[in-house]
Chains A and B, each alone.
Chain A
Amino acid sequence: MLSQDFIRLALLAGTPIALASGAIGYFVVLRGQVFAGDTLSHVSFTGALAAAAAGVDLRFGLFAATVVVALLLALLGDRAASDDVAIGTTLAWVLGLGAFFLDLFNRSSRGGNGVIAARTLFGSIFGLSGGQARLAAVIGVALFVIMLAIARPLLCATIDSKVAAAQGLPVTALGAGFLVLVGVDAAEATQVVGALLMLGLIAVPAGAAARLTASPYLALTLSSVFAIASLWLGVVLAYVIPSFPPSSAIIGVAAVIYALSFAAASVTARWPCWPRGARPSTSPGSAG
């Protein structure tokens, strides 16, 4: 199977993106920003369609749209209390815009058969070109390195933003910068698993990791490991069973891992195998 070019490209592009998505996803879950991540993934759909309608490179539309909306979300959601509603209404509007661009595109001479829409929505990891895969790998690694670099201050700002601000950390800038990272990751992951499923690489492995351990760095590592495992197993599954779309297979594996984490958490809650004080809490993220 590894002798096939498209499999090698899929793994080359997918592994760094899964690595970065797992790490970024842990903070997304910890900060309670899964909904924001979801919105950014849908935004990438609108961006790609806008670029398609205008006839420019899809990737330009992807990155421009996600970065702009990430900044907009950071601006709108200044207070925690109005967060999810502000995000929700923005999301609805962005999807409506997507429908509009789809209309425009279908009417132009280039459009018609809906392939672009389907590819953007559900991705096509087996259809990547060599250049796309290498770019995806570079961006994935870069995102992961940036994430590790800001992990400590971001963790501080996430767990107690007041204390972090008192210590002189730029809490607002960190939050906005983090959302931009999520946006770039969403734009890149859209090309691999698609706009609608990219949340599966961000939220699902991280949700499982956060259920299993309260230690931040361990959870971050676990989350990346789960994401990469989902990607690899998913690719193998899709290769072995040709009627299984790769995006669905990847998310399917991630969902199974998540379901197992519930089982594992309830087992350790019932029969703790370590002293009471050291027992991992099942609710690490209540600060979000």
Chain B
Amino acid sequence: MSFFAYPFMVHALEAGTIVAVMAAVTGWFVVLRRQTFAGHALSVMSFPGASGAALAGLPLPLGYFAACGIAAAAIAAGSRTDNRRNLAQESAVIGAVQVTGFALGFLFLSLYGGILENLENLLFGSFLGITATQVDVLAGVAVCALAFFAVVGRPLLFSSIDDLVARAGGVPVRALEIAFLLVLGLAVASTAQITGVLLVFALLVAPAAAAQQLTSSIAGGIGLSVAIGLLVTWTGLLLSYYTDYSVGFYVTTLAFAVYLAARLFRRLVRS
């Protein structure tokens, strides 16, 4: 039986494709800037966002975006000392923001009362309940995110590679950093609605990390990252459809396998 006959599978494929492309492009910058942990913390923020919105009776997407925006601002504000990136302090700030988010989310859930029912879907996602409206919203967010990278991609790349020289060259490094974190928050917030809070991350980091192992070219790296993301998402959805285990498991396992293969390949080529 072909799975294209089911509307929910078609929606899942559409959403998966949009998410894979957006996450792969954003993730390429995340990996380059070594902000993997920030990406993880921001993706986690959808959990307090969703449970807080449920508690307050607001629409869920509003909660997702608000929580991610606040967290992005907090990370950007706390991660600099003497106007420089300080990796040790930055990781402590991100950890604190993330764990506070989890604690708040758990508090909201207990106050809301529905502790156990939705927890699994919230954390691990479900590709199967995606509506046509959600696909449209996702497409809108993806277009915005990709437009952002098209416009500021060059200066962002410059400041990611050499912060000091970029600053000397007149690039607004700090503003770019904050803007990038906000776009990252936007991208993961929309992705998390579909893949679940804990698994956004596989699509964000693993394809880009594998691509950067294989090529140092910029356009090639981003293209390869998108290709790996799409491949992993589609294969994961198909496997999940035919074997009935969760999409998240397949997507993360495939992505990890691709990353390991890329590392191995690079080591072989070098020697």
Contacts and interface: CB of A to CB of B under 8 A. Distances in A.
Given A88-B37, A96-B248, A248 B256 contact: no
A199 B245 CA distance: 30
Interface stretch (B1-9, B81-89, B159-167): B81-89
- Which among A87, A206, A258, A287 has the greatest number of chain B C-beta atoms within 10 A? A258
A61 to B, nearest CB: 17
Given A29-B91, A35-B91, A255 B100 contact: yes
Contacts of A113: 116
Contacts of A133: none
Nearest to B250: A96
Given A99-B249, A100-B245, A203-B92, A197 B116 contact: no
Interface in A30-74: 30-35, 37-38, 42
Contacts of A200: 96, 99-100, 102-103
Given A34-B37, A35-B37, A255 B87 contact: no
A214 to B, nearest CB: 12
Contacts of B86: 283, 285-286
Contact of A207 (B82, B96, B196): B96
A243 interface: yes
Contacts of B62: none
B92 A103 contact: no
A96 B251 contact: yes
Interface string B227-258: 00000000000000000011011111101100
A85 B91 contact: no
Contacts of B81: 282-283
Contact of A32 (B88, B98, B196, B259): B88
Interface in A156-215: 196-197, 199-200, 202-204, 206-207, 210-211
Given A92-B205, A92-B206, A95-B199, A248 B92 contact: no
Interface stretch (B119-127, B131-139, B172-180): B119-127
A207 B245 contact: no
- Which among A89, A95, A98, A262 has the greatest number of chain B C-beta atoms within 10 A? A89
A100 B250 CA distance: 9
B104 interface: yes
A122 interface: yes
Interface of A is mostly: helix
A200 B223 CA distance: 38
B149 interface: no
Contact of A203 (B95, B202, B205, B209): B95
A114 interface: yes
Interface of A: 29-35, 37-38, 42, 84-93, 95-100, 102-103, 113-115, 117-118, 121-122, 196-197, 199-200, 202-204, 206-207, 210-211, 243-245, 247-248, 250-252, 254-255, 258, 262, 282-288
Interface of B: 31, 34, 36-37, 39-40, 78, 81-82, 86-89, 91-96, 98-100, 102-104, 106-107, 110-111, 115-117, 119-120, 123-124, 196, 198-199, 201-202, 205-206, 209, 212, 245-246, 248-253, 255-256, 259
